[in-house]
């Protein structure tokens, strides 16, 4: 088993993985991650590689062993700092961050609905 999962609600879960090593990039309040099939590691998504596209959003780094995740839906993120009214995509930087322009694989992440709300989108480029 790569980690343990606790589901406090229907919209989120907490993943416990000893020393997960994740940090949310820059001033972002959100991060895209994937699970490496060979190691079970939770790693930042990279829009340049189809095997590294996002599977979930990290909405909080609780501590060195625990993260809070979401897959889709409305996320209240006070003063999130993303440009409102446009879609944001997983970047090609390999850090799980987001940009307002599509990365190589057009891995859409969310729509910034207003200054405090993101609509998380769970889809993948085919």
- The predicted pLDDT at position 40 comes to 85
Q: pTM value?
A: 0.88
Query: Above 80 in pLDDT, residue 10?
Result: no
48-84: per-residue pLDDT in tens?
Answer: 999 999 999 999 999 999 999 998 999 998 899 999 9
- The predicted pLDDT at position 92 comes to 95
Tell me the backbone φ, ψ of residue 75, rounded to 5 degrees. -125, 120
**Short-list 66, 80, 53, 71, CA closest to 22:** 66
Q: Are 42 and 22 in contact (CB under 8 A)?
A: yes
**Short-list 36, 37, 42, 38, CA closest to 15:** 42
Length of the chain: 126
**Short-list 106, 110, 65, 103, CA closest to 86:** 110
Number of Cβ atoms within 10 Å of the Cβ of 78: 8
- The predicted pLDDT at position 83 comes to 94
């Amino acid at each position: 088993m790569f980690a343990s999962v606790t589901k406090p609600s229907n919209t989120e879960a907490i993943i416990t993985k000893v020393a997960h090593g994740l940090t949310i990039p820059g001033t972002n309040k959100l991060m895209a991650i994937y699970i490496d099939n060979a190691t079970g590691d939770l790693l930042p998504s990279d829009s340049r590689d189809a095997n590294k596209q996002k599977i979930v959003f990290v909405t909080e780094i609780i501590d060195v062993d625990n993260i809070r995740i979401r897959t889709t839906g409305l996320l209240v993120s006070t003063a999130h700092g993303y440009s409102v009214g446009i879609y944001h995509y997983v970047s090609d930087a390999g850090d799980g961050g987001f940009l307002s322009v599509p990365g190589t694989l057009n891995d859409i992440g969310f729509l910034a609905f207003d200054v405090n709300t993101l609509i998380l989108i769970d889809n993948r480029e085919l």
